[in-house]
Amino acid sequence: MSKPIDWQSMTDEEYLQRAEQQIWLSAFANNNPRAPAHKEADRAYDEAMRREKPHLYQRAWNAAYRSCDYQPSASDLATAEESRP
């Protein structure tokens, strides 16, 4: 069994790349509920919330979705925009 990913030590750019990968793997393994990618995708979401940057997870999700030749909805794109105070 592989070690959990250390999400907290990543920069935002590193997070985006790794989260996209784990989200894609989780979707690919939808027939295997015990696939480690499901937990890592959940942990990626939790890390985005911990950073108070939910748009990071949405950006990664949008990228994974695009890699499967789909286009994110307008709502998905809007959610991926960093909110400005």
Q: Domain boundaries in the chain?
A: 10-79
Residues 29-57 have a mean pLDDT of: 96
Which distant-in-sequence residues (6+ apart) come within 8 Å of 54 by Cβ? 48, 79
Cα separation, 36 vs 20, whole angstroms = 15
- SS3 (DSSP) at 10: coil
Q: What is the mean pLDDT of residues 28-57?
A: 96
More confident residue, 1 or 45: 45
Model confidence, pTM = 0.86
Q: Does residue 23 contact residue 44 with C-beta atoms inside 8 Å?
A: yes
User: Which of the 8 DSSP states describes residue 9?
Assistant: G
Instruction: For 49-60, write each residue's pLDDT tens digit.
Output: 999 999 999 999
pLDDT tens-digit series, residues 63-84: 999 998 888 888 888 888 876 4
